[in-house]
Amino acid sequence: MIIKGFKNVNVYVEGQGIVKKCILIKNGKIDKIVDNCEEAGLIELSADKIVVPGFIDEHVHGANHSDGMYTDPKDPINISKTIASEGVTSYCITTMTQTVENIDAALKNAKQFIDKDMHIGAKAIGIHLEGPFISRIYKGAQVLSAIQECNVDLFKHFQEVSGNHISIVTLAYEENGKELVHYLKKEGIVASLGHTNATYEEAMEGIKEGITCATHTYNAMTKLHHREVGVVGTVLLCDQIRGELICDLIHISAPAIQLLYKCKGKDGIILVTDAMEAKHLPDGEYALGGQPVFVSNGAARLKDGTLAGSILYMNHAIKNIQKVLGLGMTDAINFATMNPAKNLGIFDQKGSIKEQKDADFAVIDKEFNVYMTISEGHVVFEK
Where would I find the beta strands (DSSP E) of the chain? 5-13, 17-26, 29-34, 50-53, 55-60, 62-63, 66-67, 88-94, 123-130, 166-171, 190-193, 213-214, 242-246, 269-272, 284-288, 291-296, 299-301, 361-364, 370-375, 378-382
| CA dist., res. 85 & res. 72, Å (int) | 22
DSSP conformation letters of 161-173: HTTS-EEEEEE-T
Contacts of residue 64, Cβ cutoff 8 Å, sequence gap at least 6: 78, 79, 82, 277, 279, 280, 281
Cα dist from 313 to 218, 252, 302, whole Å: 20, 15, 20
Report the C-alpha dihedral over residues 351, 356, 361, 367, rounded to 10 degrees. Answer: 60
Asked whether the beta carbons of 64 and 82 are under 8 A apart, the reply is: yes
Report the C-alpha dihedral over residues 54, 55, 61, 67, rounded to 10 degrees. Answer: -30
Q: Which of 57, 67, 274, 358 is catalytic?
A: 274
Say whether 221 sits in a helix, a strand or coil.
Answer: strand
Where would I find the beta strands (DSSP E) of 84-202? 88-94, 123-130, 166-171, 190-193
Sign of the Cα torsion 296, 301, 304, 305 reads: negative
Nearest to 130 by CA among 208, 216, 249: 216
Cα dist from 103 to 70, 100, 114, whole Å: 9, 5, 16
Asked whether the beta carbons of 316 and 324 are under 8 A apart, the reply is: no
Asked whether the beta carbons of 351 and 56 are under 8 A apart, the reply is: yes
Answer yes or no: 274 catalytic.
Answer: yes
Sign of the Cα torsion 294, 273, 129, 95 reads: positive
Helix axes 200-209, 230-237, angle to 10 degrees: 50
Active-site residue list = 274
